[in-house]
Amino acid sequence: MLADRSRLHIALQKSGRLSDQSRDLLRETGFRIQSGKNSLTARVENFPAELMFVRDDDIPTFVSDGVCEFGIVGQNVLEEFAAGQEEPGYEVLAELGFGRCSLRIAAPEGTAYDGPQSLAGARIATSYPLLTRAFLARHGIKASVVKMSGAVELAPRLGIAGFICDLVSTGATLEANNLRAVDTVLESQAVLIRTTKPFDDARAFIAEQMLSRINGVLATKGSKYIMLNAAGENLRAIAALLPGADAPTVIPLRDRPGHFAVHAVCQESVFWETLEKLKGAGASAILVVPIEKMML
């Protein structure tokens, strides 16, 4: 059956590290998604879009082929795919801030490592052979790469390879296997991608609407609305302390001549240290509130 061309098709990981946060992001854009964990597709009830739940490895192919106009996938999977293509048929639209991990070279505790040259002649087990080879080529190192589909951390213990190249987040898996990360091949997080295949005006319009909502959701994530009171002579110093805010709104306070309310959207995190500095610069009645929706 051909896909319905009056709707957008979005490829998401069916089940795994990215599934919940990918669905949550779309729910935050207002999509009503009703599907059990076992469904392979789901229609969005209140938006002309259909979700395809697939293995993450297939997402770059689906999007490049134009079967799905959009997809959410880790940069690690995307870059491994791109390394095998002459011209990848997708573009990255946004970094999504979840699924953060690094593709790292690791070796059993006690293995000497003095930079990539220590890999010369070694065997490296990995599920990312193209990225590993590209790393070796970048450093002019000759080594053999052994492809494994999973459980890569077992390779040194089984005598398959002296090094591995695998994803690391907390480092707990490496530690449990008595391994130590020695180098970094790639820093990764989940990204939103769009096919470079053109699509018709109707879907282009829906796509713009969806992207504007997603950008709004991403913008609110790191943003806070900050309100405070201050005397006129302190306004300049206070404005300079507001993280990522341009042009705060300044409103005169009734019955307090020379005093103002300052309101601003801060596009960076507001830490306790920032509040302490604002207070030190003469601010009072400081309120920091979350922003629910934002359209830029």
Ligand X SMILES: O=P(O)(O)OC[C@H]1O[C@H](OP(=O)(O)OP(=O)(O)O)[C@H](O)[C@@H]1O
Ligand Y SMILES: Nc1ncnc2c1ncn2[C@@H]1O[C@H](COP(=O)(O)OP(=O)(O)OP(=O)(O)O)[C@@H](O)[C@H]1O
Q: Choose the contact partner of 58 out of ligand Y, ligand X, Mg ion, none; CB within 5 to 8 A by kind.
A: none
Among 133, 166, 225, 265, the residue binding ligand X under the rule CB under 6 A is 166
Q: Which is nearer to ligand Y, 168 or 217 (CB)?
A: 168
Binding of ligand Y by 76 (CB under 6 A): yes
The candidate with the shortest Cα–Cα distance to 295, out of 204, 225, 211, 226, is 211
Tell me how far, at minimum, the Cβ of 196 lies from ligand Y, in Å. Answer: 22
Helices 75-83 and 129-138, axial angle in degrees (round to 10): 70
C-beta atoms surrounding 190 within 10 Å: 26
For residue 100, give every residue at least 6 positions away whose Cβ sits within 8 Å of its Cβ, in sequence order, or none: 169, 187, 188, 189
Residue 167-206 contact track with ligand X, rule CB under 6 A, x = bound = xxxxxxx---------------------------------
Q: What's the CA gap between 201 and 193, in Å, rounded?
A: 19
Residue 29 partner contact from ligand Y, ligand X, Mg ion, none using kind-dependent CB cut-offs of 5 to 8 Å:
none
CB of 178 to ligand X, least distance (A): 13
Do the beta carbons of residue 67 and residue 3 sit within 8 Å?
Answer: yes
Under a CB-based contact definition with an 8 Å cutoff, are residues 187 and 169 in contact? Answer: no
> Shortest distance, CB of residue 130 to ligand X, whole angstroms?
17
Q: Is 164 in the site for ligand Y (CB under 6 A)?
A: no
**Token couple for 131:** 């990225």
Burial of 70 (0-12, 13-18, 19+ CB in 10 A): buried
| List of residues 6+ apart from 270 with CB closer than 8 A | 224, 226, 243, 288
Residue with nearest beta carbon to ligand Y: 74
Site string for ligand Y, 81-120 (x = CB under 6 A): ------------------xxx-------------------
Question: How is residue 164 written in tokens?
Answer: 């591995």
**Residue 188 vs 229, nearer CB to ligand X:** 188
Cβ nearer to ligand Y, comparing 15 with 284: 15
Distance CA 203, CA 265 (A): 33
Does residue number 162 form part of the binding site for ligand Y (CB under 6 A)? Answer: no
Which option in ligand X, ligand Y, Mg ion, none does residue 13 bind, with CB closer than 5 to 8 A by kind? ligand Y
**If binding is defined by CB under 5 A, does position 19 make contact with Mg ion?**
no
CA distance 213 to 28: 9
Partner in contact with 76, chosen from ligand Y, Mg ion, ligand X, none, beta carbon below 5 to 8 Å by kind: ligand Y
Nearer to Mg ion among residue 53 and residue 260 (C-beta)? 53
What does the chain come to in residues? 296
Residue 183 beta carbon to ligand Y: minimum distance, rounded to whole angstroms? 18
Q: Choosing among ligand Y, Mg ion, ligand X, none, which partner's interface includes residue 166 (Cβ < 5 to 8 Å by kind)?
A: ligand X
- Which residue among 25, 56, 260, 274 contacts Mg ion (CB under 5 A)? 56
